Structure 1
């Protein structure tokens, strides 16, 4: 019975179930119902994902230090960083939970997911046995994926700044461009990640 289940794969979007037929390198297995990509193995994808994850960690940490933007209006200017935005509600003890949630969504969770991916894929890339707890680490990384909102924060700020630009002079700091690069890197990481191949490597 377990062997029969090993030969099945379910689409995470529409729950359609298929018998596994692994495609070749560079090919894709796509759900016939919703066209979601189920299996997409790529050569050297593991090393590329690790490199991207390392870049994500560096960019997120650096973006919390450098200025995100500065606004000048009526002779008064004010600059803020991503960390300032996360701590904007910390002045009230009633909003401490909201402050921690904002900081987690835009800083801590993206860094944690990237570190978990590095932990899981490093032994796989070098043909070594998975490190202890790799399955739980990858499961946690996938579970946190909807809660990693660094790129949502950057897009939301960009939309808000378009409206503010008519009222004040807005200057983007280094952290803004770091978050812009972060959006692209996170999209690349998700596109390179073949979760079926990762699970298969961990289970074997």
Structure 2
């Protein structure tokens, strides 16, 4: 009897509002209503953020994504750090840092590092580019929906910030043993971390899902 009443309640709610929204934290159902620019909608039960209306969100995310792709290329082309000791000098690239673990007999660790600092960040940037362009130009969104879903699944595994912290620790530790040369990729890598963090902060997942759903008909 309770199951039937609950089903009737949901059906009644669906008939009143074409776009019901469930809070991701507590499951409370809400009715979607447009927001003024800069405003946010919060759950009336737990106060969690439901969605927001950021001004120029797509343009900002697109600009940050293009900047991120440029910085990603620079980070992987130029040396990250250089080490000079006893007249010998050695440069370290981002991919080389990963392959060094392979050479030391840790193939699993090397594979995880490549996934976390190269493949996942590149996948996230390309997905953001596809999603934003799909919404802007009203393309069919089945591909964008697939990519965006998996991007959100892989997001916790992109550990650029952790790797950047490890690089900073290495710079401090090795500074007393040898002369360190900070390469161009070090600065582009720092910019990449900040750019991707800014794009993630600006992007409103609910607005993206809603726009993609409309494009998908």
TM-score using structure 2 length:
0.81
Partner of 1:96: 107
Superimposed CA distance per residue, residues 77-129 of structure 1 (whole angstroms, 9 cap, x where no aligned partner): 3221111101112225x532322221111011111111111112212123x14
More helix by share: 2
Partner in structure 2 of residue 52 of structure 1: 64
State whether structure 2 residue 157 is matched by structure 1 residue 120.
no
Work out whether 1:26 is the aligned partner of 2:31. Answer: no
Structure 1 residue 18: deviation in Å? 4.8
SS in 2 for 1:64: helix
Within the candidate set 133, 144, 148, 1:134 is matched to: 144
Query: For the residues of structure 2 that align with 1:27 and 1:140, how far apart are their CA atoms?
Result: 28
Distance in 1 between residues matched to 2:197 and 2:28, nearest whole Å = 26
2:94 matched to which residue of 1? 82
Paired residue total: 200
Q: Which residue of 2 aligns with 1:156?
A: 166
Task: Give the corresponding residue for 1:188.
Answer: 198
Q: Secondary structure at the match of 1:72?
A: strand
Distance 2:91 2:47 in 1: 45
Give the equivalent residue in structure 2 for 1:201: 211
Sort the Cα spacing of 1:62 and 1:35 in 2 relative to 1 into closer, same or farther, 3 A: farther
Query: In structure 2, the residue corresponding to 1:163 is in which secondary structure?
Result: helix
Q: Secondary structure at the match of 1:29?
A: strand
Is the CA contact (8 Å cut-off) linking 1:10 and 1:18 kept in structure 2?
yes
Deviations 1:148-203 (A, max 9, x none): 12232122211231222233221210000001101210121011101110011111
| Residue ranges of structure 1 left out of the alignment (5+ in a row) | none
Match for residue 106 of structure 1 among 104, 117, 133: 117
Runs of at least 5 residues in structure 2 that lack an aligned partner in the other structure: 1-9
Larger-gyration structure (1/2): 2
Residue 31 of structure 1 and its aligned partner are, at CA, apart by: 5.2
Q: For residue 143 of structure 1, report the CA deviation from its aligned partner.
A: 0.9
1:61 equivalenced with 2:73 (yes/no): yes
